[in-house]
Amino acid sequence: MASEIPNAVIPQESQGLSITEYLGVFQRRPFTIAIPAVLLLAVAAVVAFVVPRKYSTFTRIKISDPQLEKDLVGNTQAPIVIKPRLQTIDTDIKNRGFLEPILREIGLTEGFSVRDPKELNELYEYIDANLVIQPKIAKVGADTIVFSYTGRDARKTVEFLNKVREKYTKDVFQQELKSRVFSEYSHVRANLEELKRKRSEIMSRYQAFKSENETELIGTEREQRKFLLTLQGDRSQLEQEILEHGIELEGVQRQLKDLRPQDEVLTQAPNPAVVQLANLKAQMQARLDQLLAVYTESAPDVKNLRQQMQEVDKKIAELPPFVDASKTYQPSAIYEEQQKRKLTLLNLRQVKQQSLNRLVAQIEEIRKQVDRVPEMRRQLDEFTDKLDEISAQIKYLQVDNDRMKRTWENVSGKGSDLVTVQYWPRSDGDPVFPNVPIFLVVGFGAGLLLGVGLAFMKEFAGMTFNTTAQVQSVLPITVLGEVSHIVTENERDARRKKRRRLWIVVGIVFAALVALHVLYLNEAPSRHLPPGVIQLLDKIYKGR
């Protein structure tokens, strides 16, 4: 009686298998491996030949340098005006306003319904994803732009690229280029006119300033300062003379205080007593002469008479010969002389004071003029600096204006000569999707991997020992022999029926898938498909 094998010694999965055991799986289960590989290869072939084709083409254009100046205000390396515009080419083209007329003209739908707003949005998203624009903008010189597009219709793909290129180069680029150049030219010209206007305004203010101010003093400043020093010396001299006249006038005034304006004059007359005595003496002399004619000196009458005459002489001698008759006044000559001197000094001092006042006013006027010279010089320098600065700007801007004028004439004259098509799009190429060899390789590889996985799962997932090595790796006994499984006729028929049913099911599924794709990809029959199936296929094929 055979002993039972404990459950503990039976492994849950094979362990310690050699490479030979793994390779034996391929020998023992070839159909398990081959059938999934063949089925997925067939599915990949059907999908590769049924799914819509996609064609890709490209065109390359060269935009020549229109000889636009690199800067407008200086000598910098600023990009020319067309290059910033080319940097926005992707945004300029990938918008509905640009694409809608082209799509309507060539009838490009890429399988989307343009009447459905949602699908229309998906169409624009599809174009945005498949229209690739690659500008190669050089710092100087010509630029290159590559347009590439992937679509389902080879002819419409080429036509779409041509329309996009033509519309951009004619309606956007060239018009924008002319507009930008004319705008820059107008801007430079307006700036030039503005600077000329400012220069005229400053020149008018400059001339007005020169006419309102004695700007010629700037050239005679040194002479004016010398003359000012001379006038200041004259002023000092006049002040000294006025001071001296004042001192002299004070002396004269002091003398006039001590003098009287008039002198007293007394009128004298003979003393009446003396005259009377003189008359008496004369009478007595006459009497004496008479007596001497008669008598001698010794006569008593003569002696008495002489004695009387002597007494009269004494009286005459005692009396003053003259007496004051009247008192009168007459101008004093010294006083008048000093008064004249005073008037002379006053007049002289007044004249010199007036001269001094005029001299002081002249000095102040000249000093003001001289003091104004630095301010006038500063203002004139400001006017000169502004005029020089604006003249320099006008000079540079005039050069820029001439350049932009030549540029505008160049651009407006050349126009379409700036764009050259280096490579035209073609419609004779093979579709880029689907790639049949890749589809077949991927399908066969996926099926092979699936078959190998199934084979190994069937081989090692159960509790059955399939080889003697598996038994010997688990049980400590020796395997004496191996009895192969004998397939009976009934088992063979059952396997044939099972395989036949499987192939029938696979064929039906395959035919249903093919019919479904054919109906979906044709517009008229696709209307009869259930909405759920259409939505499912839309998710699979839309945008691919």
pLDDT, tens only, 224-269 = 788 888 888 888 888 888 888 888 888 888 877 777 666 566 666 7
Residue 491 counted as domain residue: no
In 3D space, the residue among 82, 145, 170, 60 whose CA is nearest the CA of residue 424 turns out to be 60
Residue 45 counted as domain residue: no
Residue type, 74: G
Task: Let me know whether 68 and 172 are in one domain.
Answer: yes
Least confident interval from 18-22, 194-198, 527-531: 527-531
Task: Let me know whether 172 and 71 are in one domain.
Answer: yes
Task: Let me know whether 170 and 276 are in one domain.
Answer: no
pLDDT of residue 262: 62
Task: Show which of 287, 311, 327 is a domain's final residue.
Answer: 327
SS3 assignment, position 466: coil
At residue 132 the predicted structure's pLDDT band, cuts being 50, 70 and 90, is very high
Question: Does residue 14 surpass a pLDDT of 50?
Answer: no
- The backbone region for 110, taken as left when phi is positive above 0, alpha when psi lies in -120 to 50, beta otherwise, is left
Task: Let me know whether 280 and 167 are in one domain.
Answer: no
Task: Show which of 278, 294, 327 is a domain's final residue.
Answer: 327
At residue 146 the predicted structure's pLDDT band, cuts being 50, 70 and 90, is very high
pLDDT of residue 228: 80
pLDDT of residue 528: 63
pLDDT of residue 470: 67
Least confident interval from 167-171, 270-274, 415-419: 415-419
Verify cis geometry, omega within 30 degrees of 0, for the bond prior to 272. no
pLDDT of residue 79: 43
What average pLDDT does the structure give for the chain?
77
Note down the domain range covering 277: 266-327
Residue 380 counted as domain residue: no
Task: Show which of 277, 298, 327 is a domain's final residue.
Answer: 327
**C-alpha span between 183 and 373 (Å, rounded):** 47
**C-alpha span between 322 and 270 (Å, rounded):** 4
If you average pLDDT over residues 465-482, what whole number do you get? 70
Residue 33 counted as domain residue: no
pLDDT of residue 295: 74
Instruction: Give the count of beta carbons closer than 10 Å to the beta carbon of residue 516.
Output: 16
Residue 172 counted as domain residue: yes
Task: Let me know whether 172 and 59 are in one domain.
Answer: yes
If you average pLDDT over residues 57-63, what whole number do you get? 88
Give the HSE-up count for residue 214: Cα atoms under 13 Å, Cβ half-sphere. 12
- Asked if 420 and 61 count as a contact pair (C-beta separation under 8 A), the reply is yes
Residue 19 counted as domain residue: no
pLDDT of residue 13: 43
**C-alpha span between 187 and 450 (Å, rounded):** 72
CATH assignment at residue 90: 3.30.70
**Where is pLDDT greater, at 39 or 331?**
39
**C-alpha span between 305 and 284 (Å, rounded):** 7
Q: Where are the alpha helices (DSSP H) in 94-220?
A: 96-106, 117-130, 154-167, 175-212
- Tell me the sheet residues that pair with 351: none
Buried b or exposed e, range 67-89, using 16+ CB within 10 angstroms: ebbeebeeeeeebbbbbebbeeb
Residue 186 counted as domain residue: no
End-to-end CA gap in the chain:
70
Domain count, the chain: 3
Residue 189 counted as domain residue: no
